[in-house]
Amino acid sequence: RKEVEQDPGPFNVPEGATVAFNCTYSNSASQSFFWYRQDCRKEPKLLMSVYSSGNEDGRFTAQLNRASQYISLLIRDSKLSDSATYLCVVALNYGGSQGNLIFGKGTKLSVKP
Amino acid sequence: EAGVTQSPTHLIKTRGQQATLRCSPISGHTSVYWYQQALGLGLQFLLWYDEGEERNRGNFPPRFSGRQFPNYSSELNVNALELEDSALYLCASSPDSNQPQHFGDGTRLSIL
């Protein structure tokens, strides 16, 4: 089983749509959780950290369910500029430190006019 | 504030050669991470350095090695290059190992 699994995508949605991405992770020792965004042939950029209480940043809402080992990202009122690949990322605990990141393969989102 | 910088942008080598990739972290960041992004495989963790020490390495053969210098910059060395080493190599840094990582633009390594 892969350490981080995501919806394979691609997701093709019209502008204004709400889109949800799901992700599961296999290692219960995972300590930190993130969503990164990667544009074509560019470096990944941190979109938001994910907390157990859930967190929101504008049109983006992230949720974490530790019991189910499940992470989600909701994008409301999608914009053309949201088109990118969304990477679900977890970090394990190495002696109290966050350590290196483990990436899902990513879900490609394409927002159409 | 300057971001993570990597050099060179592109590197073309032939099988059996050796490659050296360089990374300068964001000022004040002490942790440096290396990742490989090969076509169709997603980002794979290579190496993690913190305060000059190697903290962890991913599932890669020993011909992948690196180091971190006193100024926290880092080098990734790949010996005996193979065709499947062709990939984008990304460096990331964080203020310490408990903070989010920020990525450089990457070095695209092509093996002919």
Return the SS3 of A16: coil
Q: Which residues of A60-81 are buried (b: 16+ CB within 10 A; e: fewer)?
A: bbbbbeeeebebbbebeebeee
> A103: distance to nearest CA of chain B, Å?
6
Which regions of chain B are under pLDDT 70?
1
What pLDDT digit, counting tens, does each position of A6-54 carry? 987 899 999 999 999 999 999 888 888 999 999 988 899 999 999 888 8
Is B97 close to A99, i.e. CB distance below 8 A? yes
Among A45, A99, A103, whose Cβ lies nearest the Cβ of B42? A103
The tens digit of pLDDT for each residue in B39-63 reads 878 899 999 999 899 998 999 999 9
Tell me which residue of B51, B103, B2 sits closest to A46, measured CA to CA.
Answer: B103
pLDDT above 90 (res A99): no
Closest CA to B75 of B89, B96, B85: B89
Contact (CB, 8 A) for A37 and A86:
yes
Residues of A in Cβ contact (< 8 Å) with B92 = 101
Contact A50, A63 (CB under 8 A): yes
Buried b (16+ CB within 10 A) or exposed e, B8-28: eeebebeeeeebebbbbbbee
Residue A56 to chain B, least CA–CA distance (Å)? 17
Q: Is B97 on the interface with A (CB under 8 A)?
A: yes
Residue A1 has pLDDT above 80, yes or no: no
